[in-house]
Amino acid sequence: MLLTALLLWRGHNAPGGGFIAGLMTACALILHRVANGRCALNFPPLTLVPWGLALSFTTGLVPYLLGRAYLKSDYGYVSTPLTGEFEWATALLFDVGVYLIVAGSALHIAYELIDVNPRERVEDDR
């Protein structure tokens, strides 16, 4: 999970981003479920998808409402004693939205497949 945080954080300046971080989160939580037999989340993962869609859409809409191009990113620099100077960008908010969409949908699909019992028979089985 720490690797996914790094991939998400560095995604707008280096390889990574919301998509691959979401997939890595889904992989980690699927492994947790396989190892422990229960989900690590206290809520259905599909609930992450509308939050991610709302965040990604809002991130693109705000510049548009301010008279700029849709999804136009803004950036700046922040300096702290702990980390030194680093760049912030609104693209990170878009990446967080993509992260939530990918993690939620991948977990939902995987959990639905995990819950399938292959020993169940349907009418057409012989």
Taking the model in full, what pTM does it have?
0.82
pLDDT band at 84 (very low <50, low <70, confident <90, very high): confident
Instruction: For residue 122, tell me if it sits in a domain.
Output: no
Q: How many domains does the chain have?
A: 1
Tell me the C-alpha distance between 106 and 103, whole Å: 5
CA distances, 40 to each of 21, 24, 82 (Å): 17, 15, 31
Q: What range defines the domain where residue 110 resides?
A: 2-114
Instruction: For residue 120, tell me if it sits in a domain.
Output: no
What tokens does 37 get?
A: 């037999």
Tell me the C-alpha distance between 37 and 124, whole Å: 31
pLDDT band at 110 (very low <50, low <70, confident <90, very high): very high
When pLDDT is averaged across residues 102-109 and rounded to a whole number, the result is 96
Of residues 93, 88, 8, 22, the one with CA closest to residue 59: 93
Tell me the C-alpha distance between 43 and 45, whole Å: 6
